[in-house]
Amino acid sequence: MTDTTLAPARPVPVPVGELLPWAVFAGLILALAIYFISAEEGAIALFNGMYVHEFVHDGRHLLGFPCH
């Protein structure tokens, strides 16, 4: 039998330049989601009808946005 010892793994730093595009992308997706959940109701709407409102209706109530 041989004994094998492993050195502890050291964390590798992630450069901010590689993380920044993903953070911007995630921020844009989250802003778009917040718009559709909070404001897409008919008064200010990108789409005609109430399709988006009905799709996110339960999420609006779950997050505390009034809609009736």
Domain that holds residue 34: 30-68
Average pLDDT by stretches of 10, the chain with 68 residues: 79 88 96 81 69 79 78
**Residues 60, 67 contacting (CB under 8 angstroms):** yes
pTM of whole model > 0.85?
no
The pLDDT, as a whole number, for residue 1 is 60
Full DSSP string of 8-38: PPPPPPPPHHHHHHHHHHHHHHHHHHHHHHH
The pLDDT, as a whole number, for residue 34 is 84
Asked if the structure places residue 5 within a domain, the reply is no
Asked if the structure places residue 64 within a domain, the reply is yes
The pLDDT, as a whole number, for residue 54 is 79
Buried b (16+ CB within 10 A) or exposed e, 29-61: eeeeeeebbeebeeeeeeeeeeebbeebeeebe
Asked if the structure places residue 37 within a domain, the reply is yes
